[in-house]
C-alpha cells in the first residue's frame, strides 16, 4: 500500500521541461526543476571573459545568482574590465594578482576577492601555476563583462605566455604586471 501511495504521489508531479532553460551566460546550465545537485566537472566549459580574459569553466545559473568553477591558465588572465554584477572569487588553487578599483590584489589559494558591481578590475594567474577559482555573481547579467578600453582585443598574457606566434603580453595595468 505504501508503494502505491508513493507511485500515486509521483504521478501528480509536473514533468521536468525537456527544453533547455534560458540562461544569461551562453552555455551555462540552468539550475532548478527537480534537480538540486550538480557536479562541476561534468558541466560544459564556457568562456568566462570572451574578448578580454583566458578564464573558462562550468557555469551554473539559478534564478538570482550564478556560480562558476573557473580555470585561468598560468601566466594569463583578464585585461581591465567591468560588469554590472557584484562578484566574489574564492581562490581554490594558485594565486591571482591584479587590482580592483585601483587597489592592488594578491590572492593565494584559500582567499576571497570581493569585486563591487561596476568596479574596474583585472586578475591574472601568476606564472607558477594555473588558478582555479569559484566565481559567485548576482544575475544582473551573465558571467562575461566588457573591457574598459571598449575593445574585445583578447586577454592579458604575462611575458612568455602568449599564444605561439604572438609577441609578448597584451596591454594591461601596472597592478596586473606586479
Q: Which segments within the chain are labelled E, that is strand?
A: 29-30, 45-47, 56-61, 65-72, 76-77, 81-82, 87-93, 95-100, 103-108, 112-115, 121-125, 131-138, 146-147, 156-157
Tens digit of each residue's pLDDT, the chain (178 residues):
555 555 555 554 444 443 467 999 999 999 998 899 999 888 999 999 999 999 999 999 999 999 999 999 999 999 999 999 999 999 999 999 999 999 999 999 999 999 999 999 999 999 999 999 999 999 999 999 999 999 989 999 999 998 875 544 444 444 444 4
Range(s) of the domain holding residue 87: 46-177
Please tell me the predicted confidence (pLDDT) of residue 2.
53
Cell 572569487 sits on residue: 89
Residue 52 domain flag: yes
Are the C-beta atoms of 79 and 155 separated by less than 8 Å?
yes
User: For the chain, how many structural domains are there in total?
Assistant: 1
Q: Which residues pair with 66 in a beta bridge?
A: 61, 137
Please tell me the predicted confidence (pLDDT) of residue 1.
53
* Chain centroid, CA 65 distance in Å: 12
Residue 147 domain flag: yes
Residue 59 domain flag: yes
Distance CA 163, CA 161 (A): 7
Distance CA 30, CA 26 (A): 11
Residue 16 domain flag: no
Residue 113 domain flag: yes
Residue 73 domain flag: yes
CATH number of the CATH domain containing 104: 2.60.120.10
Residue 1 domain flag: no
**Helical (H) or strand (E) element with 174:** helix 174-177
Please tell me the predicted confidence (pLDDT) of residue 21.
78
| SS3 of residue 78 by DSSP | coil
Residue 17 domain flag: no
Amino acid at each position: 500500500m505504501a508503494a502505491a501511495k508513493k507511485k500515486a504521489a509521483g504521478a501528480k508531479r509536473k514533468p521536468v521541461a525537456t527544453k533547455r532553460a534560458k540562461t544569461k551566460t551562453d552555455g551555462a546550465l540552468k539550475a532548478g526543476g527537480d534537480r538540486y545537485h550538480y557536479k562541476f566537472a561534468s558541466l560544459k566549459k564556457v568562456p568566462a571573459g570572451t574578448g578580454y580574459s583566458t578564464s573558462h569553466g562550468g557555469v551554473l545559473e539559478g534564478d538570482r545568482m550564478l556560480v562558476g568553477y573557473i580555470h585561468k591558465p598560468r601566466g594569463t588572465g583578464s585585461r581591465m574590465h567591468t560588469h554590472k554584477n557584484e562578484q566574489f572569487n574564492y581562490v581554490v588553487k594558485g594565486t591571482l594578482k591584479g587590482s580592483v578599483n585601483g587597489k592592488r590584489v594578491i590572492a593565494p589559494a584559500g582567499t576571497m576577492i570581493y569585486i563591487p558591481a561596476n568596479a574596474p578590475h583585472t586578475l591574472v594567474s601568476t606564472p607558477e601555476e594555473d588558478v582555479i577559482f569559484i566565481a559567485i555573481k548576482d544575475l544582473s547579467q551573465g558571467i562575461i563583462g566588457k573591457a574598459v578600453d571598449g575593445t574585445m582585443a583578447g586577454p592579458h598574457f604575462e611575458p612568455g605566455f602568449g599564444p605561439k606566434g604572438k609577441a609578448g603580453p597584451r596591454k594591461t595595468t601596472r597592478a596586473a604586471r606586479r
